[in-house]
Amino acid sequence: QVQLVESGGGLVQAGGSLRLSCAASGSIFSMNAMGWYRQPPGKQRELVAVITTGGRTNYADSVKGRFIISGDNAKNTVYLQMNSLKPEDTAVYYCNAVRSDTYARYDYWGQGTQVTVSS
């Protein structure tokens, strides 16, 4: 099992910045990747950014050039630096960890942290 705890959400004006943190514990050695998803009000959850254990990153088109995902292996923590925030970035942000093999994929989720961007 893996436990994920997010922090760093809050209220910010458009154009501002926030940094989200996700502290992982448990069987994290078996994870293939970690990332951030978000769920805007009334919409489905969507991928924001992901980082693999090899350090490769991938971003949603809507956040490219504004958000940066990074990891600190010593602290078992993944970060999401969010810059130039827009009102449409308002959502509950969830940390995700993935373990996958030939036969199955296992997703682990944090409890979510609210990010609200005012115009």
* pLDDT in single tens digits along all 119 residues of the chain: 899 999 999 999 999 999 999 999 987 778 899 999 999 999 999 999 999 988 899 999 999 999 999 998 888 999 999 999 999 999 999 999 999 888 899 999 999 999 999 99
Place of tokens 């999401």: 80
Q: Which two tokens stand for residue 7?
A: 């922090």
pLDDT at 51: 95
Q: Between the CA of residue 28 and those of 16, 25, 51, 63, 114, what are the distances in Å? A: 32, 6, 14, 26, 24
Distance between CA atoms of 104 and 8, rounded to whole angstroms?
32
Q: Strands across the sheet with 18-26, in order?
A: 2-7, 18-26, 77-82, 67-72
Residue 8 in tokens: 């760093």
Whole-angstrom distance, CA of residue 25 vs CA of residue 41 = 29
